[in-house]
C-alpha cells in the first residue's frame, strides 16, 4: 500500500483495509491536533489508489471492512469518491462496509442526496470530530464549526441512512473549564443522537498551539481523577435512545464499552469505583494517541 504521512484510523477500524485517498487534513488548524503537522492536504492520484485496491484484492481476501484515509476523506470531490467506491465494489466484493472521516465543513459541501449516493456505493459510516459541545471551547481550539453547524451536518448524515460516530476529547477544556465542557457535551450528544460516541483523553502534542499553552502555564491538564470525573459527568448528562458510548481508545484511563441506554448505570458505577480507587487504571506509560 502507498501510504503518505501519518496513518490514523479510529479504534473500531482496527481490522479494516486502510485505503488512503487523501493526504493530511483539509483544516489542519485545531490547537490540540498534531496528527498532520506540516502536511498539505491533497488527493491521491487515482492510479495509485487503484493500485492499492488491486493489492488489497490479492492479499486481503478475508477483509470485510475498509476505511478511507486520511483526516477528512469526504472533502474529496463527489466524482472522485464515486469513482473510488465503484472500484472498491468491483474489485473487493467481500467488503461490506466502508467508512471515512469527515468534518462539518466537508459534509456541508455535500447534499443529502449526494451522501445517499455515496451510501448506495458502499459508504456506511461517517466519523466526525465533535470534540465538545461548548461553542466557546470549540472556537478557542480552532475548530471550523460551532455546535449548531455540527448538529445540522449530523442530521444530514443520518438522514441519508449513514451511521454517525462522533469523537469527544476528555480534558480538552483543562481543569478550569472541565465542568462546562462535560455538561455542554452531554447536552450536545443528547441533541445529536449519534450511533456512536467515542471518547479519547487529551494528550498534548509537541508543536501544537495547545502544547505551547501548557508549557506557558496557561493550560492545566486534568489528572487521572479529573479526567474520570469529567467523563462520568458527560455520561450522566448523555441521554440517547440507542447507541454506543466508547472510551476504549488507548489514551483513556479506564476502558469502557457501553450500549446506551442499557449500560448507562453500569458505566456510571464503574467510573465511581475508579474514582474511589477500587479499579486499576491504565498506567501513564501505556497511554498513547
Does residue 4 belong to any structural domain of this protein?
no
Q: Which domain holds residue 87?
A: 11-286
**Terminal alpha carbon distance of the chain:** 23
pLDDT at 285 over 90: no
Calpha distance 234→76 (Å, rounded): 33
pLDDT at 138 over 90: yes
What's the pLDDT score for residue 210?
A: 98
Question: Cis before residue 190, ω within 30 degrees of 0?
Answer: no
- Judge contact between 235 and 229, C-beta under 8 A: no
CA distances from 167 to 88, 96, 120 (A): 26, 23, 25
Calpha distance 136→149 (Å, rounded): 14
DSSP for 252-267 reads -SS--EEEETTTHHHH
What contacts 233, CB < 8 A, 6 or more positions away?
Answer: 179, 182, 183, 186
Closest of 241, 239, 231 to residue 268, by C-alpha? 231
Does residue 84 belong to any structural domain of this protein?
yes
Does residue 170 belong to any structural domain of this protein?
yes
What's the pLDDT score for residue 192?
A: 98
The answer for 24, left when phi > 0, alpha when psi is -120 to 50, beta otherwise, is left
For residues 96-115, give the mean pLDDT: 97
Does residue 5 belong to any structural domain of this protein?
no
CATH of the domain at 44: 3.20.20.70
Structurally, the chain folds into a number of domains equal to 1
CA angle 15, 16, 22 (to 5 degrees): 140
Does residue 73 belong to any structural domain of this protein?
yes
DSSP structure class, residue 44: P
Calpha distance 224→209 (Å, rounded): 23
Does residue 142 belong to any structural domain of this protein?
yes
What cell was used for 159? 438522514
For residues 107-123, give the mean pLDDT: 98
What's the pLDDT score for residue 288?
A: 86
Does residue 136 belong to any structural domain of this protein?
yes
Q: Is 281 exposed, middle or buried (0-12, 13-18, 19+ CB in 10 A)?
A: middle
For residues 46-66, give the mean pLDDT: 97
Q: pLDDT digit string (tens) for 146-205?
A: 999 999 999 999 999 999 999 999 999 999 999 999 999 999 999 999 999 999 999 999
For residues 132-138, give the mean pLDDT: 98
DSSP for 55-66 reads HHHHH-TT--EE
What cell was used for 206? 509537541
Calpha distance 192→4 (Å, rounded): 34
Does residue 6 belong to any structural domain of this protein?
no
> Considering just the CA atoms, what is the radius of gyration of the chain in Å?
19
Average pLDDT taken over every residue of the chain: 97
Global pTM reads: 0.95
Amino acid at each position: 500500500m502507498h501510504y503518505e504521512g501519518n496513518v490514523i484510523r479510529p479504534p473500531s477500524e482496527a481490522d479494516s483495509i486502510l485505503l488512503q485517498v487523501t493526504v493530511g487534513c483539509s483544516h489542519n488548524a485545531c490547537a490540540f491536533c498534531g496528527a498532520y503537522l506540516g502536511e498539505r492536504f491533497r488527493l491521491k492520484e487515482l492510479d495509485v489508489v487503484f493500485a492499492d485496491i488491486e493489492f488489497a484484492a490479492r492479499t486481503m481476501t478475508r477483509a470485510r471492512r475498509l476505511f478511507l484515509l486520511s483526516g477528512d476523506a469526504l472533502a474529496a470531490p463527489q466524482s472522485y469518491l464515486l469513482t473510488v467506491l465503484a472500484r472498491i465494489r468491483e474489485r473487493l466484493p467481500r467488503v461490506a462496509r466502508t467508512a471515512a472521516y469527515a468534518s462539518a465543513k466537508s459534509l456541508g459541501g455535500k447534499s443529502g442526496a449526494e451522501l445517499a449516493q455515496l451510501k448506495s456505493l458502499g459508504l456506511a459510516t461517517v466519523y466526525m470530530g465533535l470534540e465538545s459541545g461548548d461553542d466557546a471551547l470549540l472556537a478557542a481550539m480552532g475548530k471550523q464549526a460551532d455546535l449548531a453547524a455540527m448538529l445540522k451536518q449530523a442530521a444530514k448524515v443520518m438522514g441519508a441512512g449513514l451511521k454517525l460516530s462522533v469523537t469527544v476529547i476528555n480534558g480538552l477544556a483543562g481543569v478550569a473549564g472541565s465542568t462546562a465542557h462535560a455538561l455542554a457535551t452531554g447536552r450536545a450528544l443528547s441533541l445529536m443522537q449519534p450511533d456512536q460516541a467515542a471518547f479519547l483523553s487529551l494528550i498534548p502534542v509537541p508543536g501544537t498551539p495547545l502544547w505551547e499553552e501548557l508549557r506557558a502555564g496557561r493550560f492545566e491538564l486534568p489528572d487521572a481523577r479529573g479526567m474520570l470525573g469529567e467523563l462520568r459527568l458527560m455520561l450522566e448528562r448523555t441521554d440517547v435512545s440507542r447507541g454506543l458510548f466508547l472510551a476504549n481508545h488507548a489514551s483513556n484511563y479506564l476502558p469502557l464499552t457501553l450500549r446506551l441506554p442499557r449500560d448507562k448505570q453500569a458505566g456510571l458505577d464503574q467510573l465511581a469505583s475508579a474514582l474511589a480507587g477500587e479499579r486499576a487504571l491504565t498506567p501513564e506509560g501505556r497511554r498513547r494517541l
